[in-house]
Amino acid sequence: MKKFKRILFCILITSFLFFGIYILSEIFKTFQFHSQIKNDPSILIPIHLTLFSIISLLYNFNKLHNQLIIKSIIYKTLRIGDLVFAVSIFIFSVVCIYFLIHNLKLSTLQISRQIIAFTLLLVLFFLSILLIFDNILFHKKQETILKKDSIDEIGM
């Protein structure tokens, strides 16, 4: 079950990464990057989320192994990057849900689009919460494995 959860996280983060790359490629095709940031600094949001989704994906690939070296700098960097990604997705989804609720339109076409957007944002919201808790629980599990002294205690 744990492997299934890890693979599911990897698939979801990979899809998020590809979606972010698609958004960035469309922005770069349409506008010049430097002038776009000066006019609209919100372009930094997809750049930030795409960058940290790469780090989160690497961390989740590493979590597929049973035990990691938690004292290494790479582990700490990947873990912090995963936490930043999860918290960023959480904040992003909460803000989007807030704006979606306060800007409701009543035409039938827009209501169906808003229901789909709201559903996707709720999925992102719960994914970010699961990712935060998974990161914390996985790290605590690694610390307890590291604290075990003998080979007999590791299997318990």
| Integer CA distances (angstroms), 24 to 17, 34, 90, 142, in order | 11, 13, 20, 36
Q: How far apart are CA 130 and CA 13, in angstroms?
A: 12
Q: How far apart are CA 95 and CA 89, in angstroms?
A: 10
Residue 75: predicted pLDDT: 79
Tens of pLDDT, residues 42-71: 777 778 888 888 888 888 888 777 666 767
Tens of pLDDT, residues 94-147: 888 888 888 776 666 677 777 887 888 888 888 889 888 988 888 788 777 777
CA angle 141, 144, 145 (to 5 degrees): 85
Residue 4: predicted pLDDT: 80
pLDDT reading at 154 higher than 60: no
142: phi then psi, degrees, rounded to nearest 5: -65, -35
User: 1-5, 25-29, 57-61, 85-89: which has the minimum mean pLDDT?
Assistant: 1-5
- Inter-residue contact 96 to 121 (CB < 8 Å): yes
